[in-house]
């Protein structure tokens, strides 16, 4: 039963774009920030899919004679504490970055949007019930929930992604619910109802398109948070298990060398930073295109 | 308004009950418990079997999750939070000071984040699209992309080892500085963005132009007329972040040795000390309800158009 | 203008306070990695509690001297009965607890009664094995009665878990005794800021009876502060700024401090810890000693030592750590399975494994195993990484799974894993019985009558010489069976500030606190 103002103030309110997605994409291409962000994201996806084919070294081969070597011509980003080439590990690690973004956001968005939709457009008892459930999820301390899930199901990158995803559900639910409640009162929806359209039709044809752009913008900002949350779990040794070159885990393990071998932190740190920056740039550009009010 | 508050508090009750039910259900699913962990060095469980049985009975671990839930609920209604399984001391001793510490850190970080964020946002909005704006927003992006533990460690090395402005092992109130700075500066990033976009939107409104036409000073226009409306978005985002700060600051707490709830939560789960985790969950839920209420009340103060008597 | 001066003044004050603390010579500041859950040794077996108690505040009846033998401490002498089930101790007189009550046989009896009492559910109880009862013969004589001869008793007795607490204080404080312990040691408890630090001050009535201590009177430094610092990087930083008098070092930074003239580095190589690979013998092929032996040949221990400890560790080839009295180098050298990929390949072939497409295969199934271990320690992670890499080279694929200790250790009782990387620290050969007798400490071993027989025999041999011979035989049998694959034993490395003198460790690697002093420069 949080106030409407909460939902209203949170993210950009999309205005219906009758011209549709093609117009949006064309606008997007015009912005330089979107191009930069998009290029980086594209590169990430390429790495995620094909990195094993073009990495210079085996990212898992332990070579204790080659430990902690600074960046050089042979190893562009240096080697880590087990002698593994950092460039190769970072490139392979892109796949986990993409995975974390996709999986946790998919879980959070699919369940959250569904809950938000039925809460906003269903009968009021359903709204109250769903919001209670959301409240319970939000009131439960995130860290305990995550650790408990991992305690039950075992530590792994997948568990980390799932628990980060679950923790993200309430955000989407609230966002969508608010949007739905606002759109429900618009005139054209009243018109549709007067013309005899059923609730499902209204939901699909009128509500979803409006809500979609907000969801997409919200996603682009949630992804970095999901990545950082997964990295936080690596801090406790509960995320990606060794020897996976997940960037968050690499950064966590490199912290003992912060001063003696700065490149072991710089490599994953830069990777994380650049990727999150790209996502933010894309998100910014999307918002600028889809919501003229924030210009 | 007081009727509204009373209603909200009453509606919070089922949430708390729901949370406790979920807590005991989840606990039942967790494979080990504190008693097992305590006797981890037990090299022959036969020797320790008797001891384990005694301890389990003492903490009701041998009953069904629902029975445990009922017993616990009855106890807390009488104000008894129980005893930590690991230290055998009253839970309230453990949690009391940690809760206060967490509140301290949260408030300090919120203040730093709000002040730095809002000021940056105002400046960026006012000098929109200038180099100042771009720089501010770029630095802001750092805040969003930076893992907190990394930033914290860097700050320790910069301030304590390199500059030597602060000792590494800090005593008293000074120990709040670095962790609050770490969290606060990271907080300031999203706050400045929202403040900036809110300010931009507000500054373009009719009544601002009217105020300027009337000849009011820029300072009055910005701080008296524009800011309160722009703050709505800021309050929202801060309200959302409070949950994160309260729950997710455990890494900062571990690194800086700040005895807070986050660190306790992690340790309690690792030790499977369920009486502690139950208390943490309870306090977390209670705080959540109160914070939500506070945020909503803050809204009415900031935007008189919002009226709750009808809801 | 005024504001600038204020800020300047505040900064200066902070600067001064930081440096002032570094110059204090009356306080030893040490680090502990976690806050002990209690300081009552009957209720805990945690390392943090026991080192806080055992190094400073409480004393035991005996101590382990420089030659590794049990020597008198609070007990003056002892006699063992002819049937070896009774030990009678003659206690020193004139010793007082920190609360001025008298240390006597009644105090000793009270300590052990508390451990034995089932109502206390003491996790320490299993360590004293067949102890039946403790009786007071007269105020300075106390008798221990066992159900059967228990050879490890003296080493066990030298551990901090069996330090003597003041029975008066225990009775008076009851449940809160664990928050303010009272012993006879060189330092007495002052206060404990929960989660942050433990403060102690000099016991003026202390007399030192250890044979390995330099200073025979009260402690040389007035105060001790144990500071809880969980994060390695922060502990390092504190050591650098001089805020810690000394700190144990993790491998990665050792070389930096070793080369820095502002610090001394103390290295104890005779450590009693052992990192080893254990097996779930309920699952093939780990029930096959040949396979286990082949695995031992496949592990490059030198690489593990390098990666996990920057060289500050010993390759371990036997089931007993080299610092534990009874370690027999000759036996180990003769029967161990050191790194030798050629021998490994040969043994795998003998056990029926062939190399197909780069992977070891048997009956058509390629080797793919799950190794579990515990999280939170970089050296374990690195050792795991090396093991995984070594096995991959041989053609064995492995999956790693780590969880924090509280989840990991109990989970080993369940069947769903193949191997685990374990680390165990103990100062007596009875550790072999504790870990490997019958189905083992996690109940996944195949009981072996030879192993059980020899271990049982060793535990009952009260004569030290006979026991040592027996332990050598035990090591031989365990190596023939390759019950575990030992990997390494890490040295204890501690960096101290340059102005610290007489920072001496005893045979077990514990600090002789009363000797330490800080010299003013």
Best of C9, C15, C18, C177 to disrupt the B interface (most B CBs within 10 Å) is: C18
Question: Are residues C114 and C167 in contact, defined by beta-carbon separation less than 8 angstroms?
Answer: no
- pLDDT (tens digit per residue) in A13-26: 344 344 456 666 77
Distance CA C436, CA C126 (A): 16
Please check whether residue B52 lies inside any domain of the structure.
yes
The pLDDT tens digits for C74-118 are 999 999 898 889 999 999 999 999 999 999 999 999 999 999 887
- Share of chain C residues as helix, strand and coil, in percent rounded to the nearest 5: 35, 25, 40
pLDDT at position C164 is 93
Higher pLDDT pick, B289 / C451: C451
Instruction: Look at residue B158 in the predicted model and tell me its pLDDT.
Output: 83
Domain with B225 in it: 92-302
* B84 located within any domain: no
Residue B311 lies in a domain: no
Q: Do B156 and C119 touch (CB under 8 A)?
A: no
| Domain boundary, last residue among B16, B46, B77 | B77
Contact flag A142-B247 (C-beta cutoff 8 Å):
yes
- What is the distance between the alpha carbons of residues B49 and C121, in angstroms, rounded to a whole number? 10
Q: Note whether B39 and B120 are same-domain residues.
A: no
Type and span of the H or E element at B17:
helix B2-29
Q: Which residues pair with C493 in a beta bridge?
A: C267
Q: Looking at residue C6, what is its pLDDT?
A: 52
Whether residue C253 and residue A253 make contact (CB cut-off 8 A), yes or no, is: no
pLDDT at res. C124: 84
Neighbouring subunits of A (3+ Cβ pairs under 8 A): B, C
Token look-up 């010299």 returns: C519
Q: For the segment C380-421, what is each residue's pLDDT rounded down to a tens digit?
A: 988 998 999 999 888 899 988 888 777 788 788 877 899 999
In angstroms, rounded to a whole number, what is the distance separating the alpha carbons of residues B115 and C480?
Answer: 70
C468-to-C317, C465, C509 alpha-carbon distances in Å: 19, 5, 21
Q: Is A67 part of any domain?
A: no
pLDDT of A265: 87
What value does the mean pLDDT take over residues C192-215? Answer: 91
Residue with tokens 């492995």: C398
Lookup result for tokens 């069976």: C481
pLDDT band, very low/low/confident/very high, at A255 (cuts 50, 70, 90): confident
**Quick check: is A64 in a domain?**
no
A199 and chain C in contact, CB less than 8 A: no
Task: Provide the percentage of residues in chain C whose pLDDT is more than 70.
Answer: 95
B140 shares a domain with B235? yes
For residue A256, the domain's CATH number is 1.10.3720.10
Q: Does residue C18 have a pLDDT over 70?
A: no
Same structural domain, B243 and B270: yes
Rg (CA), chain C: 25
**pLDDT computed for residue B40 by the predictor:** 53
Contact between residue C405 and residue C431 where contact means Cβ atoms under 8 Å apart: no
C-chain residues near B166 (CB < 8 A): 14, 18
Domain-located, residue B61: yes
Both B132 and B204 in one domain: the answer is yes
Whether residue C166 has pLDDT greater than 90 = yes
Mean pLDDT of the region B221-240: 75
Q: Which of A218-222, B130-134, B245-249, C128-132 has the lowest mean pLDDT?
A: B245-249
State the pLDDT confidence band at C8, using cuts at 50, 70 and 90: low
- Given B32, B52, B77, which residue is the final one in a domain? B77
At residue C333 the predicted structure's pLDDT band, cuts being 50, 70 and 90, is: very high
For residues C234 and C32, give the distance between their C-alpha atoms in angstroms, rounded to a whole number. 12
pLDDT tier at A8, thresholds 50, 70, 90: very low
Confirm whether B308 is domain-assigned. Answer: no
Verify that B164 and B251 share a domain, yes or no.
Answer: yes
Mean of per-residue pLDDT scores for chain B: 79
pLDDT tens string A172-211: 888 888 778 777 777 667 777 777 777 677 666 777 777 7
pLDDT tier for residue B57 given thresholds of 50, 70 and 90: confident
Same domain, yes or no: B219 and B288: yes
Q: Is the ipTM of this complex over 0.85?
A: no
Tell me the average pLDDT of chain C.
87
Closest to C430 in 3D by CA, of C518, C344, C332, C321: C321
Flag whether pLDDT at C296 surpasses 90: yes
Q: Which of B257, A39, B33, A136 is nearest to C411 (CA)?
A: B33
B101 and B18 share a domain? Answer: no
- Residue C508's pLDDT is 82
Give the integer Cα–Cα distance in Å for C294 and A293.
Answer: 70
Residue of higher predicted confidence among C128 and A111: A111
Answer yes or no: is pLDDT of A111 > 90.
yes
Structural domain boundaries, residue A217: 2-59+74-294
Q: Is C13 a residue whose pLDDT tops 60?
A: no
Concatenate the DSSP letters of all residues of chain A into one string: ---HHHHHHHSPPPPP-TT-HHHHHHHHHH-HHHHHHHHHHHHHHHHHHHHHHH-SS-TT---GGGTTPPS-SSSTT-B-TTS-BHHHHHHHHHHHHHHHHHHHHHHHHHHHHHHHHHHHHS-HHHHHHHHHHHHHHHHS-HHHHHHHHHHHH--SHHHHHHHHHHHHHHHHHHHHHHHHHHHHTSHHHHHHHHTT--HHHHIIIIIHHHHHHHHHHHHHHHHHHHHHHHHHHHHTT-SSPTT---HHHHHHHHGGGTTT-THHHHHHHHHHHHHHHHHHHHHHHHHHHH-GGG-
Q: Which residues of C touch A258 (CB under 8 A)?
A: 233
Yes or no: say if A75 and A85 are a contact pair by the CB < 8 Å rule. yes
Residue C221 pLDDT grade (very low, low, confident, very high; cuts 50, 70, 90): very high
Does the residue B42 lie in any domain? Answer: yes
Taken as a whole, chain C contains a residue count of 521
Q: Tell me, yes or no, whether A68 lies in a domain.
A: no
Q: From the candidates B27, B35, B96, B167, which should be mutated to test the interface with C, based on the most C CB atoms within 10 A? A: B167
Does B100 lie in the same domain as B64? no
| Residues of chain B contacting C233 with CB distance shorter than 8 Å | 153, 156, 255
Q: What is the mean pLDDT of residues C310-331?
A: 91
What is the gyration radius of the CA atoms in chain B, in angstroms? 24
Tell how strand C419-425 and strand C368-374 pair up: parallel
Query: Which pLDDT tens digit goes with each residue over B266-310?
Result: 888 877 888 888 888 888 888 888 887 887 777 777 666 655 554
- Tell whether B275 and B210 lie within a shared domain: yes
Q: At C396, phi and psi to the nearest 5?
A: -105, 120
- Burial class, A93, CB count within 10 angstroms (exposed 0-12 / middle 13-18 / buried 19+): buried
| In contact, A79 and A109? CB cutoff 8 Å | no
Question: Are residues B140 and B6 both part of a single domain?
Answer: no
Q: Is residue A244 part of a domain?
A: yes
pLDDT at position B285, please? 84
pTM surpassing 0.95? no
pLDDT score of A121 more than 70 = yes
The pLDDT value recorded for residue B39 is 62
Provide the token pair at C282: 């309920």
Region class of C511: left (phi > 0), else alpha (psi between -120 and 50), else beta: beta
Q: Which residues contact C324 (CB under 8 A, 6 or more apart)?
A: C272, C426, C427, C428, C429, C431
- What's the token pair of residue B14? 């089922």
**Higher per-residue pLDDT: A212 or C176:** C176
Question: d(Cα C494, Cα C62) in Å, to the nearest integer?
Answer: 26
pLDDT at A46 over 80: yes
For residue A9, being part of any structural domain is answered with yes
Most confident stretch, A197-206, B196-205, C227-236: C227-236
In chain A, residues with a C-beta closer than 8 Å to the C-beta of B236 are 5-6, 9-10
Instruction: Report whether pLDDT(B200) > 70.
Output: yes
Distances (CA, A) of C266 to A151, C65, C263, C499, C509: 39, 19, 10, 14, 11
Distance CA C374, CA A242 (A): 12
For chain B, the domain total comes to 2
Among A60, A241, A255, the residue with its CB nearest the CB of C402 is: A241
* Residue with more model confidence, C170 or C232: C170
Distance CA C185, CA C183 (A): 6
pLDDT given for residue B228 in this prediction: 76
Total domain count, chain A: 1
Closest CA to C409 of C379, C462, C373, C457: C373
Q: CB–CB of C386 and A256 under 8 A? A: no
Q: How sure is the predictor about A10, in pLDDT bands with cuts at 50, 70 and 90?
A: very low
Residue C197 three-state SS: strand
- Predicted local distance difference test score (pLDDT) of residue C69: 84
Last residue of a domain, one of B46, B77, B108: B77
Is residue B201 included in any domain, yes or no?
yes
The pLDDT-based confidence of A236 (bands split at 50, 70, 90) is confident
């Amino acid at each position: 039963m949080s106030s409407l103002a909460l939902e209203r103030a949170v993210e950009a309110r999309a205005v219906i774009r009758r011209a549709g997605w093609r117009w949006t994409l064309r606008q997007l291409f015009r912005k330089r920030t979107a191009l930069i962000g998009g290029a980086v994201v594209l590169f990430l996806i390429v790495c995620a899919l094909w990195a094993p084919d073009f990495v210079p070294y085996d990212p898992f081969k332990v070579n204790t004679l080659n430990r902690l070597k600074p960046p050089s011509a042979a190893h562009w980003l240096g080697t880590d504490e087990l002698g593994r080439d950092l460039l190769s590990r970072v490139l392979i690690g892109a796949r986990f970055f993409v995975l974390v973004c996709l999986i946790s956001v998919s879980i959070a968005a699919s369940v959250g949007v569904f809950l938000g939709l039925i809460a906003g457009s269903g009968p009021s008892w359903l709204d109250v019930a769903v919001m209670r459930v959301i409240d319970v999820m939000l009131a439960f301390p995130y860290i305990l929930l995550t650790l408990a899930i991992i305690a039950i199901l075992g530590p792994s990158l997948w568990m980390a992604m799932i628990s980060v995803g679950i923790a993200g559900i309430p955000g989407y639910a609230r966002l969508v619910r608010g949007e739905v409640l606002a759109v429900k009162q618009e005139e054209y929806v009243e018109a549709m109802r007067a013309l005899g359209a059923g609730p499902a039709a209204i939901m699909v044809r009128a509500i979803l398109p409006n809500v979609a752009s907000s969801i997409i913008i919200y996603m682009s900002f949630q992804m970095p948070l999901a990545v950082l949350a997964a990295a936080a779990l690596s801090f406790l040794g509960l995320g990606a298990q060794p020897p996976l070159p997940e960037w968050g885990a690499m950064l966590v393990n490199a912290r003992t060398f912060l001063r003696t071998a700065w490149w072991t932190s710089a490599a994953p740190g830069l990777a994380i930073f650049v990727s999150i920056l790209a996502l933010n740039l894309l998100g910014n550009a999307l918002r600028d295109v889809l919501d003229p009010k924030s210009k | 308004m007081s009727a509204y508050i009373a209603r909200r508090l009453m509606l919070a009750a089922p949430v708390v009950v729901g949370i406790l039910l979920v807590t005991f259900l989840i606990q039942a699913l967790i494979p080990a418990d504190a008693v097992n962990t305590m006797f981890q060095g037990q090299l022959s469980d036969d020797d320790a079997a008797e001891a384990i049985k005694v301890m389990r009975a003492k903490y009701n671990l041998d009953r069904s999750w629902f029975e445990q839930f009922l017993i616990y609920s009855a106890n807390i209604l009488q104000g008894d939070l129980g005893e930590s399984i690991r230290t055998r001391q009253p839970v309230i001793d453990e949690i009391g000071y940690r809760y206060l510490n967490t509140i301290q850190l949260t408030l300090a970080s919120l203040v730093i984040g709000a002040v730095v964020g809002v000021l940056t946002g105002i400046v960026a909005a006012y000098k929109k699209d200038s180099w100042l704006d771009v720089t501010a927003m770029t630095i802001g992006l750092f805040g969003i992309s930076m893992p907190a533990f990394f930033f914290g460690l860097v700050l320790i090395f910069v301030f304590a080892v390199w500059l030597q402005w602060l000792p590494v092992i800090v005593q008293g109130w000074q120990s709040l500085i670095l962790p609050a700075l770490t969290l606060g500066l990271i907080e300031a990033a999203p706050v400045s963005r929202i403040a900036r976009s809110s300010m931009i939107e507000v500054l373009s409104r009719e009544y601002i132009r009217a105020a300027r036409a009337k000849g009011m000073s820029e300072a009055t226009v910005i701080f008296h007329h524009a800011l309160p409306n722009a703050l709505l978005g800021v309050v929202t985002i801060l309200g959302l972040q409070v949950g994160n700060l309260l729950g997710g600051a455990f890494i900062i707490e571990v690194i800086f040795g700040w005895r807070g709830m986050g660190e306790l939560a992690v340790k309690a789960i690792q030790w499977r000390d369920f009486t502690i985790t139950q208390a943490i969950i309870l306090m977390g839920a209670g705080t959540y309800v109160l914070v939500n209420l506070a945020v909503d009340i803050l809204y009415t103060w900031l935007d008189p158009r919002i009226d709750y008597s009808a809801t | 203008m005024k504001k600038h001066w204020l800020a300047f003044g505040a900064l200066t004050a902070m600067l001064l306070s930081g440096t002032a603390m570094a110059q204090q010579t009356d306080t030893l500041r040490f680090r502990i990695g976690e806050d002990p859950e209690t300081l009552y040794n009957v209720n805990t077996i945690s390392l943090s509690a026991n080192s806080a108690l055992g190094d400073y505040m409480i004393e035991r009846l005996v101590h382990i001297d420089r030659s590794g033998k049990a020597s008198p401490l609070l007990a003056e002498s002892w006699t063992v009965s002819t049937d070896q089930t009774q030990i009678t101790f003659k206690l020193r007189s004139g010793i007082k607890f920190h609360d001025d009550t008298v240390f006597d046989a009644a105090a000793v009896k009270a300590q052990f009664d508390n451990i034995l009492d089932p109502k206390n559910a003491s996790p320490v109880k299993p360590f004293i094995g067949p102890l039946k009862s403790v009786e007071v013969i007269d105020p300075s004589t106390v008798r221990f009665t066992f159900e059967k001869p228990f050879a490890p008793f003296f080493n066990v007795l030298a551990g901090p878990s069996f330090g003597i607490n003041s029975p008066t204080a225990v009775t008076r404080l009851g449940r809160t005794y664990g928050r303010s312990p009272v012993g006879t040691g060189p330092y007495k408890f002052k206060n404990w800021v929960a989660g942050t630090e433990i403060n102690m001050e000099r016991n003026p009535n202390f007399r030192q009876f250890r044979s390995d201590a330099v200073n025979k009177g009260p402690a040389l430094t007035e105060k001790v502060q144990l500071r809880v610092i969980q994060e390695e990087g922060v502990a390092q930083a504190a050591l650098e700024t001089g805020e810690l008098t000394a700190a144990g070092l993790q491998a990665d930074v050792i070389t930096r401090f070793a080369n820095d003239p502002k610090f001394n580095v103390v290295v104890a190589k005779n450590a009693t810890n052992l990192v080893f690979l254990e097996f779930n013998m309920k699952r093939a092929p780990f029930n096959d000693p040949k396979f286990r032996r082949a695995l031992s040949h496949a592990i490059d221990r030198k690489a593990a030592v390098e990666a996990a400890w920057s060289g500050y560790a010993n390759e371990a080839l036997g089931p007993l750590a080299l610092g534990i009295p009874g370690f027999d180098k000759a036996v180990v050298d003769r029967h161990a399975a050191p790194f030798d990929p050629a021998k490994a390949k040969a043994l795998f072939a003998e056990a029926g494994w062939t190399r197909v497409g780069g992977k070891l295969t048997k009956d058509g199934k390629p080797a793919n195993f799950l190794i579990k271990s515990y999280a939170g320690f970089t050296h374990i992670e690195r050792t795991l990484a090396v093991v995984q890499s070594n096995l991959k080279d041989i053609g064995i694929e492995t999956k790693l799974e780590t969880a924090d200790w509280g989840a990991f250790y109990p989970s080993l009782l369940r069947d769903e894993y193949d191997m685990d990387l374990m680390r165990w620290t103990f100062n007596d050969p009875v550790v072999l019985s504790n870990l490997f007798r019958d189905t083992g400490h996690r109940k996944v071993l195949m009981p072996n009558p030879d192993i059980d027989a020899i271990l049982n025999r060793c535990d009952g041999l009260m004569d030290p010489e006979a026991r040592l011979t027996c332990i050598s035989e035990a090591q031989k049998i365990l190596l023939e069976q390759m019950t575990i694959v030992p990997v390494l034993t890490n040295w204890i490395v501690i960096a101290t500030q340059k102005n610290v003198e007489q920072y001496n460790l005893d045979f077990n690697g514990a600090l002789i606190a009363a000797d330490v002093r800080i010299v003013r420069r």
